[in-house]
Amino acid sequence: MTAGRRRLVVSGDDFGAAPEVNAGVLRAHREGILTSTSLMVTGEAAADAARLARANPTLAVGLHLVLAQGHPATAPAEIPHVVRGEVFGDQPIWTGLRYAFEYVFRARGELRREIEAQLEAFADTGLSLAHVDGHLNMHLHPMVLPILLDLAPRFGIRAMRLSREDLGAALRHDRRHAPRKIFEGVVFHALASWAAPRLRAAGIATADRVYGMHQTGHVDESYVLAVVAALPPGTSELYCHPAESQPAPLARHQPGYDHAGEVAALTSPRVRAALRAADVELISYRTL
């Protein structure tokens, strides 16, 4: 009876990064189709985000683990091989490669300390942990995921984003930035293939497929309608970066992102009508 069902988690990243993000996430949830979000516990507006989430219990909230382009939860002096000065590295590829090299020699304990600190900061909000994902998908890094899996029973991690997307479909929809998308497709296909059996063995739930990675910053109405029209049976996740306007703390790393356009897509009556017509059930990571 459920074999042909289509279920969709709609997620907003960077909750807590700035007031503009918090406002966009809440509007997309209250007035639109957004069901889940993930909290940057070290973001400038993290305390306000937690307060808003507690006041809106239908919004499922997970941890947006930050290990690049952001501030640590641990004092930088305690994790000198993970941070660069007071912050994490700005370039995710080089930061990831550095973690792989440093992990062998000096950074394993420091990475674990920082990941624990962010999970503890989330627990301190009093919110129920719906899932874990990562800023720039760093949670799937081969040096990071094993730590998360080891900590999962202690912190109640029951679901995680497994970033994998149909590259061909993404390019057919929008061929802009094709080299970046192809690179992402190759890298995350390999990471997802490596991570999937480990997540299954740990009993951690994932969506069957994920949308939005290749269209990051431009998950507009036309894209969401295209996703809904082609959505296969099973459980899918669509993630995006909604905000009422360009958030200052993220502007340097997200040039050209159409945050307001994403809020408009998530609150679009046409999108709601398409979901009803396709008999797609909206669920959250809490349900998953």
End-to-end CA distance of the chain: 18
- Helical segments of 202-247, H only: 221-230
The SS3 assignment for 131 reads: strand
Both tokens of residue 277? 């017509």
Strands (E), 179-261: 209-211, 234-240
Return the axis-axis angle of helices 221-230 and 269-277, rounded to nearest 10°: 0
Instruction: Give the pLDDT of residue 91.
Output: 83
Predicted confidence band of residue 3 (pLDDT cuts 50, 70, 90)? low
Residues 124 and 155: their CA atoms lie apart, in Å, by: 11
Residues 113 and 103: their CA atoms lie apart, in Å, by: 13
231 Cβ neighbours under 8 A, 6+ residues apart? 6, 8, 278, 280
Residues 125 and 110: their CA atoms lie apart, in Å, by: 23
Residues 94 and 207: their CA atoms lie apart, in Å, by: 28
Predicted confidence band of residue 1 (pLDDT cuts 50, 70, 90)? very low
Exposed, middle or buried by CB within 10 Å (0-12, 13-18, 19+), for 277? exposed
pLDDT digits (tens, 9 = 90+) for 14-46: 999 999 999 999 999 999 999 999 999 999 999
Structure-model confidence comparison of residues 85 and 196, the more confident one:
196
32 Cβ neighbours under 8 A, 6+ residues apart? 263, 266, 267, 268, 271, 272
pLDDT (mean) for 60-76: 96
Tell whether the model's pLDDT for residue 248 goes beyond 50. yes
Q: Which helix (DSSP H) or strand (DSSP E) does residue 62 occupy?
A: strand 60-65
Predicted confidence band of residue 81 (pLDDT cuts 50, 70, 90)? confident
Tell whether the model's pLDDT for residue 53 goes beyond 80. yes
pLDDT digits (tens, 9 = 90+) for 115-158: 999 999 999 999 999 999 999 999 999 999 999 999 999 999 99
Both tokens of residue 206? 């994932």
Distances (CA, A) of 36 to 236, 239, 275: 13, 9, 17
β-bridge mates for residue 6, sequence order: 234, 280
Greatest Cα pair distance in the chain: 56
Instruction: Give the pLDDT of residue 105.
Output: 61
Instruction: Give the pLDDT of residue 89.
Output: 87
Is the pTM higher than 0.85? The answer reads yes
Instruction: Give the pLDDT of residue 103.
Output: 61
Predicted confidence band of residue 104 (pLDDT cuts 50, 70, 90)? low
Distances (CA, A) of 5 to 169, 200, 231, 236: 21, 21, 10, 11
Both tokens of residue 283? 């669920």
Least confident of 60-64, 69-73, 179-183, 193-197: 179-183
Domain ranges of the chain: 6-283
The identity of residue 63, as a single letter, is L
Q: Which residue shows structure tokens 């960077």?
A: 14
Residues 119 and 102: their CA atoms lie apart, in Å, by: 22
For residues 40 and 15, is the Cβ–Cβ distance under 8 A? yes
Predicted confidence band of residue 214 (pLDDT cuts 50, 70, 90)? very high
CATH of domain 6-283: 3.20.20.370
